[in-house]
Chain A
Amino acid sequence: MIKLKWFGGVAGWLLPAALIAAWAVAVQNSWLSSQILPAPIDIVRSAINLAASGELTANIAASAVRAGWGLLIGGGIGFLLGLLNGLSKTAERLLDTTVQMIRNVPHLALIPLVIIWFGIGEAGKVFLVTLGVFFPVYANTYHGIKTSDPQLIEMGRVYGLNRWQLFSQIIFPGALPSILVGLRYALGLMWLTLIVAETIATSSGIGYMAMNAREFMKTDVVVLAILIYALLGKLADAGVHFLEWRVLQWHPGFKRR
């Protein structure tokens, strides 16, 4: 059992480790030109160099700030609007059609317009991320509220709960699993949007770092940027996992192992 547990913790990393090893061997034996894919060790070296010069942290910080603001604004609006439309029939009738219509426009198609509106500053990038994360959070919050169990609500009424208690003790906890699914999708879209937005015209951020390196054919930095996106994505996912583990302990599907 103990052996199995240990294996479970490492199992997810076996495949990536094997791929990196194969890649190192392939570059070493010149099966792959280092122009196309530099050796893993070169990437580590350039990571160390960039980190030493402070460039790496500055770029990661710039990206993280954009991602954070976009998530906060877009997720916040999506969450509140999802609650509003889920709870109020009037609001739903007024707003849902509009939201669904906007949803069908791919937000990255707005990039030209965003450049005209916001120029190439921070606002445009945050705006794109905001749009990207808004819909998954909105749709899943709305769905979670809408599918709350009418039997439990009826029980709550019989047991004398007021409207706020009905919401905070029955409707919201019931919607939480769905809201967290929305957050997870949102985090994926957040990075995706940021990658595209940062390649437009920027002077900081991981996307900028990659575009800049491409001009000088520094493939190792380009690959490093991609790897950082992968790690940040994984980190965000782990964050939601932790959140689910914390708040959904009651749920048989998220039981503490």
Chain B
Amino acid sequence: MATQAISKNSSNLALKLEQVGKKFGDLAVLEDLNLDIEPGTFVAIVGRSGCGKSTLLRLISGLDQPDTGAVYYDGQVHRRLNGGARVMFQEARLLPWKKVLDNVCLGLCKQRKDRALAALQHVGLEAKADEWPSVLSGGQRQRVALARALVHEPRLLLLDEPLGALDALTRIEMQRLIEKIWLETGFTALLVTHDIAEAVALADRVILLDGGKIDLDVAIDLPRPRHRDHPRAIELEEAILQRVLNKPE
């Protein structure tokens, strides 16, 4: 089942944020944020809407720049879009005028069709290679988007609520797929989500953002593959949820 195209990446990205702050007008979305992420870990960022988690992801990706502080990739200050990082957005953002395979090829040179096809195989959609994106279901589109990200062998994969718009069953399927691929390839992963169960199911470490600051930073020390009904998982989920809910607005 596993293909050669997506190989275990030995040099995963170490990420560090130092006193990062971002303002939109007078509103400080992030303040003095410090964060250290070990290479190859899966980190989930949760929080209420408007807590700055998507902004944080955009700063890390290089799509936006912090007003204060800096983001470090492997100890180097990082200011522009980085070839080693790929983003999966909430919407699949496939190009409707390119066939599925050509969407996966985006940004690759033309000779790499075989790799794109292998990536499609990896997400179980090689049969759809020659279809237009408009005929795919929401879950299939996100799988194509995942293949498009994986084909570049990213050292850092940034996931901006990519499963937010999917139905419950497809979500669980996608979570398993992402976990499986992460285990095989071992990139550093950063998942922004509002679903605490999803964060606990996938991440090594869950970070709760509140008011632009880190409110909670928990290690999830559960064995993989994980079971959602594991008592410890439920306990952790409940603890994080209580923390979110009991915070005054």
Contacts and interface: CB of A to CB of B under 8 A. Distances in A.
Nearest to A165: B107
Contacts of B201: none
Contact of A152 (B86, B95, B134): B95
B190 interface: no
Contacts of A216: none
A241 interface: no
B134 A156 contact: no
Nearest to A151: B93
B97 A159 contact: no
Contact of A151 (B61, B89, B134, B148): B89
Given A250-B132, A250-B134, A252-B134, A158 B87 contact: yes
The B interface is mostly helix, strand or loop, or mixed, namely loop
B217 interface: no
Contact of B107 (A154, A159, A176, A249): A159
A155 B81 CA distance: 11
Interface in A145-178: 151-152, 154-161, 165, 169-170, 173-174, 176
B152 A251 contact: no
A158 B63 contact: yes
Interface residues of B, number: 21
B204 interface: no
Interface in A240-257: 249-252
A152 B106 CA distance: 12
Nearest to A154: B63
Contact of B152 (A152, A156, A159, A249): A159
Contacts of A176: 97
B81 A157 contact: yes
B91 A151 contact: yes
Given A158-B61, A161-B107, A169-B106, A251 B148 contact: no
A157 B85 CA distance: 12
Contacts of B83: 160
A141 to B, nearest CB: 17
B96 interface: yes
Nearest to A159: B107
Interface in B89-108: 89, 91, 93, 95-98, 106-107
A9 to B, nearest CB: 26
B86 A159 contact: yes
Contacts of A174: 97
Nearest to B135: A252
A157 B63 contact: yes
Contacts of B95: 152, 169-170, 173
Q: What are the nearest 7 A-B pairs in CB distance?
A: A159-B107, A173-B97, A155-B93, A250-B97, A160-B107, A158-B87, A250-B132
Interface residues of A, number: 20
12 contacts: A151-B91, A151-B93, A152-B93, A155-B87, A156-B106, A159-B86, A159-B107, A165-B107, A173-B97, A174-B97, A250-B132, A250-B133
Contacts of A157: 63, 81
Interface of B: 61, 63, 81, 83, 85-87, 89, 91, 93, 95-98, 106-107, 132-134, 148, 152
B106 A161 contact: yes
B134 A159 contact: no
A251 B61 CA distance: 31
Contacts of A159: 86, 106-107, 148, 152
A204 B174 CA distance: 69
Interface string A104-120: 00000000000000000
A198 B104 CA distance: 53
Nearest to A160: B107
Contacts of B97: 173-174, 176, 250-251
A151 B90 CA distance: 11
A41 B159 CA distance: 72
A176 B95 CA distance: 13
Given A154-B63, A251-B96, A252-B134, 4 more contacts: A151-B91, A155-B89, A165-B107, A173-B97
A236 to B, nearest CB: 25
Contacts of A152: 93, 95
B45 to A, nearest CB: 18
A155 B95 CA distance: 10
A155 B91 CA distance: 10
A251 B97 CA distance: 7
